Structure 1
Amino acid sequence: MTSSVALYEALTNASDERSRARLIAEAFERLEERYPQLPDLATQAHVRESELRLQREIEQVRVDLTHEIEQVRVDLTREIEQVRADLTREIEQVRADLTRDIENLRSDLTSDNEKIRADLKNDIEKLRADLTRDIEQLRTEVERVKFELLKWLLPVMVGQVIAIAALVKLL
């Protein structure tokens, strides 16, 4: 406080403006020597100016981020729609391929079934012919065996009848 009072008295006692200016300059010099960090101290105006500048920068960053977010949203929406379109196209292609493959398989199966049926029909006809031939051969064989039996049995039976008749006569 004493330095302030001394400065006041020196200023009131100074004779002209030049000496007053010199006194003020010397007071500032002493103040700077006493407080060397004083030039680095921020004043309220500096703080307010920095605050306003930071608010403007924050607002600009906010606007930029909003714009970038919107751009990313648009890009993602476009990409999603493109992927959907590609997937739809791929699904339709797979469906068409599957339908074609199913029709080809059905055609092949129908053709294979018809071939198997024809082969089975031929095999059945051959089997019937073979069985019919075998049955006829067996009938012929049975008839031949019957004839052979009769051919042998008839003389044996006639011989037995004669032998019985001769025995009866003898008795």
Structure 2
Amino acid sequence: MGSVVELYEALASAPDERARARLIAAAFERLEERYPHLPDLVTHQQLRETELRLQQEIMQVRADLSLQIEQLRGEQRETELRLRKEIEQLRGEVTTAIERSRNTLLMWLIPLMFAQVGALAALVKLL
């Protein structure tokens, strides 16, 4: 049975209800074989409802992302301020350490220079 007309003729010439039911069942079986995706088809209304649900979900995700982005920006600002304070503190500590090193170096260098001048003067006197 390849067409609707053939199905009609077969149904009209069927001897009893049982034969007609068998023909109808066979027609449905062929329809399912020919269009296996038929149960998965959706109506325009179902498609529109799905589209609306997806749009709402997208809007919710965007709102959530915007909130998370703002939170991350706030955390970034806090981290930046904390790091700036730490850098300033370290800069002060390094400056202090350099000053201490300079003072220590001068404390040793000046007496050594006087000792060196004295040693040279003693050598000049001896010669």
Q: TM-score, normalised by structure 2?
A: 0.65
Alignment partner of 1:95 is 2:84: yes
Q: Which residue is equivalent to 1:61?
A: 50
Task: Select 1:79's aligned residue among 56, 68, 85.
Answer: 68
1:130-169 equivalence runs, <5 A: 130-138=119-127
State the 1:132 CA deviation.
2.1
Cα distance in structure 2, aligned partners of 1:31 and 1:85? 80
Cα distance in structure 2, aligned partners of 1:109 and 1:92? 26
Unaligned runs of 5+ in 2: 1-11, 29-41
Cα distance in structure 1, aligned partners of 2:76 and 2:15? 81
Return closer, same or farther for 1:137/1:84 CA change in 2, 3 Å cut-off: same
Q: Which residue is equivalent to 2:37?
A: none
Unaligned runs of 5+ in 1: 1-26, 41-52, 139-171
Amino acid at match of 2:126: Q
Q: Which is worse superposed, 87-96 or 69-78?
A: 87-96
SS at match of 2:43: helix
State the 1:30 CA deviation.
5.5
Who wins on radius of gyration, i.e. which is larger?
1
State the 1:64 CA deviation.
0.8
Amino acid at match of 2:91: I
Alignment partner of 1:126 is 2:115: yes
Cα distance in structure 2, aligned partners of 1:120 and 1:132? 18
RMSD of aligned C-alpha atoms? 2.9
Q: TM-score, normalised by structure 1?
A: 0.50
| Structure ranking higher on relative contact order (CA contacts 8 Å, 6+ apart) | 2
SS at match of 1:134: helix
SS at match of 1:132: helix
Amino acid at match of 2:106: R
Query: Over residues 60-105 of structure 1, what are the superposed CA-to-partner deviations in whole Å (9 max), with x where a residue is unaligned?
Result: 1111101100011011111111111112211222221112111111
Return closer, same or farther for 1:31/1:113 CA change in 2, 3 Å cut-off: farther
